[in-house]
């Protein structure tokens, strides 16, 4: 079951339906195997309906990736807007990020892979979202510094390191969820956060 997308800036119901249909097909069969005919067939309309809104399949794919990314970051932004303490906010950020990214299959799979030739726009999207995530993590860290909870010399470098680590841990964590081993998922999340907050050195 895929996560429902909210139209956001999309005001046309047909355009929204195109993206929802294309999103499911891209996630199931991949970009290369999905055709404009496939999308039109699932949509129950002629291909002309697609070309009215999008020039080609690549433009639809780009819109789907950006839509999924925006959906994830809107959820993460809500975490930042809470009045929770910085350590609680960081924990919630990591949990919500990992729990939701599994449902955003096109965003997750595509942006973890090397960008293929002819898809330069994906590189730009990847860079934009990575920078956005670094800024979000850094803002939580700055809150922690201001509150006297965190001890950091360089919030930007620390944020970059955390974002890099989270991306590297996505695969094993998502495997635990896919196997419906939510207990293992929570344990691993707690292990990551304990290292993040307390480091590796044993304390008395």
pLDDT tens-digit profile of 28-56?
Answer: 888 888 999 999 999 998 888 899 999 99
| pLDDT of the residue at 9 | 45
In this structure, which long-range contacts are made by residues 101-106, counting pairs with CB atoms below 8 Å and at least 24 apart in sequence? 101/72, 101/170, 101/174, 102/174, 102/177, 102/178, 103/2, 103/3, 104/3, 104/68, 104/69, 104/71, 104/72, 105/2, 105/27, 106/23, 106/26, 106/27, 106/61, 106/64, 106/65, 106/68
Q: Does domain 57-198 have CATH number 1.20.1260.10?
A: no
Q: Where are the domains of the chain?
A: 7-54, 57-198
Residue with tokens 């496939």: 38
pLDDT digits (tens, 9 = 90+) for 9-26: 444 788 889 999 999 998
Q: What is the pTM of this model?
A: 0.77
From the options 2.120.10.30, 1.20.1260.10, 1.20.120.1200, 1.10.10.60, give the CATH code of 7-54: 1.10.10.60
């Amino acid at each position: 079951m895929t996560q429902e997308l909210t139209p956001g800036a999309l005001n046309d119901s047909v355009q929204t339906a195109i993206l929802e249909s294309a999103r499911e097909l891209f996630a199931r069969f991949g970009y290369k195997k999905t055709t404009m005919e496939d999308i039109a067939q699932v949509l129950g309309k002629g291909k002309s309906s697609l070309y009215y809104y999008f020039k080609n399949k690549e433009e639809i794919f780009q819109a789907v990736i950006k839509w999924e990314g925006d959906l994830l970051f809107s959820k993460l932004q809500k975490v930042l807007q809470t009045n929770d303490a910085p350590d609680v906010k960081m924990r919630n950020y990591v949990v919500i990020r990992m729990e939701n990214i599994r449902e955003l299959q096109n965003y997750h799979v595509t942006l973890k892979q090397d960008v293929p030739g002819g898809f330069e726009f994906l590189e730009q999207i990847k860079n934009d979202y990575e920078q956005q995530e670094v800024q979000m993590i850094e803002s939580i860290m700055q809150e922690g510094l201001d509150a006297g909870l965190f001890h950091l010399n360089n919030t930007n470098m620390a944020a970059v390191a955390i974002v890099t680590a989270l991306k590297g841990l996505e695969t094993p964590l998502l495997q635990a969820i896919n196997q419906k081993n939510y207990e293992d998922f929570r344990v691993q999340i707690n292990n990551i956060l304990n290292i993040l907050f307390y480091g590796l050195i044993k304390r008395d």
